[in-house]
Amino acid sequence: MQAHMGVGEVVTLRPLFASVARRANLSALLALTPPFAALYFLTWASGGALVVLIVNAIVVAILVGGIARMAAVRVAFSQDEIVERGYLGGVHSTPAAELASVLVVPVNSGRSLATNTHVFFLDRDGRTRLRLRGQYWGDAMIARALDAYDLPIERLTEPITRSELRHRFGVNLYWYERHPALTYLIGGAAVLVITAPLIAALNSVI
């Protein structure tokens, strides 16, 4: 397997959603200013402003933390390895010598006619070592990733549905993609656990 880059050269990819999400979170911070200002005004006389301040600080910390984590997401290709830095802060390195092939699967995007390209860098045992999804990385980044190494590429010619993707390539997917219902349940519970105490705290001082 050969790398299509020189010694010391690194090809770094950043996802599309990073810049969009940063702008969205900054907009959310600005949008939260008027309601929290009103809450400070309503609770100042009763002594509840401290609770509002704590809730405000928690919300701001969550948004700022999200911006920082999204800015850090990237995948770097070099002659020797692929280094993936994920949203949760983990860094995963895959030696380029362990890569054996690439699988490219076009997947229908919900009910629309658009398709998203799913790319799987596989080792000799068929295990996924790197996963890229077109809706997050875009066609240009996907093309650069596919050109990084001289690997055999298997391409599906016809788009498949998400259900077919789980059925045919479930072993190559993340666990939460294999069990979407459980993922939604856990996500909903997490939102409830985070927001319920904040709402209760604000209700106690208004």
Q: pLDDT tens across 102-150, in order? A: 999 999 876 667 788 999 999 999 999 999 988 888 888 999 999 999 9
- Would you say residue 75 has pLDDT above 90? yes
Residue bearing the bigger pLDDT, 203 or 9? 9
Question: Which pLDDT does position 143 carry in this prediction?
Answer: 92
State pTM to two decimals.
0.72
Question: Which pLDDT does position 202 carry in this prediction?
Answer: 64
- Would you say residue 71 has pLDDT above 80? no
Contacts of 192 (CB under 8 A, 6+ apart): none
Contacts of 10 (CB under 8 A, 6+ apart): 76, 77, 78
